[in-house]
Amino acid sequence: MTQVTKQEKIKRAAGVICKQGMVQFQLSDTAIAIVASVVGDNEDELDLIYAFREKPSQTMDQLVESSGFAAGKVEQLATSLAKKGLIFNQPSSAGRMVYRLLPFMLVGLMEYKFMVKLTGSQEEKDLAKLFEKLLAGLRYQIQNNYDALSPLFNTAPAVDRTVPARITEDGKPIQIIPIHKTLETPEEFVVPSQTVEEIINKFDDIAVGYCFCRQRRSLLGEPCSADAPTLNCFTFGKSARHTSAQGFAKKVSRDEALEIMQEAENAGLIHKAFHPGSRESKPETSICNCCKDCCDTLELWRSGTLPLINSTYHLSVINLEFCTGCGACVDWCPTDAIILNDQELAQRDESACLGCGVCSRFCPEGAISLKEGLRRVFIMPPRLRKS
């Protein structure tokens, strides 16, 4: 029987990870280098990763069969890989332990590796550069297949959901314009929670870690221009139990969570909620608090890598009688959905508005309200090269 070398084990493990998640990667030297950096010389861990090549989620019995390791060895290896950000090991709702191999990103290795409090070490910087190179390869792949991928992206579910700000900078409630007609949605559709308070109050287990986007950009020499706070990346329920158990985040109380959320809102950050499998009928798994310049979702869109696909229940409405053309909303809008028109007044592009309420929060004239109404925001990334 031919002996598999360590380098070959790294390569095949990287190939399996490349196929996981919503965003799949081509096997590359960069992907192989990331796996080598994270897993190191542990060949048994590489073999366990390879055991997920047919099924990304497995029970203990299935992993014993697919890996050839005894149950005790599987548990040891899976525990180690979970702490490295490569395996999600939490029991199902029925109480049965399920092991799931995580992808490189959304949500997986990249997020978890940069969610802890960083030291600024050379090792961290090198890993951040490898991920940047991995994303550059993805951008090249997307741009080269732009026409073929565009209709596929257009049918994809929303990656995240915007939860709007509710209070202006001076503490007044943002005006919400209720919808006065029946939404054209299935009868079983239930509007998901529209405030962070509602979301937080659902859960007993809440954990908070550091913003992996702002931390990774800082390692790349691009610190947040808004100097936004970083300890505000939330996970809930099963995800909170996982992130806290692996040391990626720490458990906090509801009151502590609300205080951190308010600090994020004061800094103009955007609340973006995530649901399992993008199913908004399911309870939230996490909330990111995103700034305009560091957020991976926004940066990947602006850089021509991935489309912006968001679900929102609000749309900003500008009262031109009150608008003075100060431009505050233009500066704060994360998707550049607002410009000053020929009359030097604010003008909003509905197709690009996330309904986040940040423009309403910082409008000094109180000229912007939020109108209710379920919407899907889809914007293809800019085309960087011709066919």
Dump pLDDT digits (tens) for 314-359.
999 999 999 999 999 999 999 999 999 999 999 999 999 999 999 9
Q: How far apart are CA 68 and CA 72, in angstroms?
A: 12
List, for residues 30-66, the tens digit of each pLDDT value: 999 999 999 998 999 999 999 999 999 999 999 999 9
pLDDT at 296 over 70: yes
Longest dimension (CA), the chain: 80
Q: At what angle do helices 71-83 and 43-50 cross, to 10 degrees?
A: 100
Q: How far apart are CA 250 and CA 260, in angstroms?
A: 13
Q: Is 333 helix (H, G, I), strand (E, B) or coil?
A: coil
Q: At what angle do helices 6-18 and 29-39 cross, to 10 degrees?
A: 110
Question: Could you tell me where in the chain the CATH 1.10.10.10 domains are found?
Answer: 1-102
- Cβ atoms of 199 and 193 within 8 Å: the answer is yes
Q: How far apart are CA 359 and CA 362, in angstroms?
A: 6
What would the two tokens of residue 136 be? 């550059």
Q: Is 244 helix (H, G, I), strand (E, B) or coil?
A: helix
Residue 275 DSSP class: -
- Rounded (5°) CA angle 247-249-253: 130
Q: For position 327, what pLDDT does the model report? A: 97
Please state whether beta strands 160-163 and 308-318 pair in parallel, antiparallel, or not at all (unpaired): parallel
Q: What is the mean pLDDT of residues 274-294?
A: 94
Which are the contacts of 277, defined by CB distance < 8 A and separation ≥ 6? none
Name the average pLDDT for the chain. 94
Going by C-alpha positions, the residue among 213, 187, 203, 348 that lies closest to residue 272 is 213
Going by C-alpha positions, the residue among 313, 303, 296, 295 that lies closest to residue 353 is 313
Q: How many CA atoms lie within 13 A of 353 on its CB side?
A: 28
250-271: buried (b, 16+ CB within 10 Å) or exposed (e) per residue? ebbeeeebbebbeebbeebbbb
List, for residues 200-258, the tens digit of each pLDDT value: 999 999 999 999 999 999 999 999 999 999 999 999 999 999 999 999 999 999 999 99
The CATH T-level fold of domain 1-102 is: Arc Repressor Mutant, subunit A (1.10.10)
pTM of the model: 0.93
Tell me the one-letter amino acid at 96. R
Cross-strand partners of 272 = 162, 288
Q: For position 182, what pLDDT does the model report? A: 46
Q: For position 190, what pLDDT does the model report? A: 65
What would the two tokens of residue 333 be? 């809008």
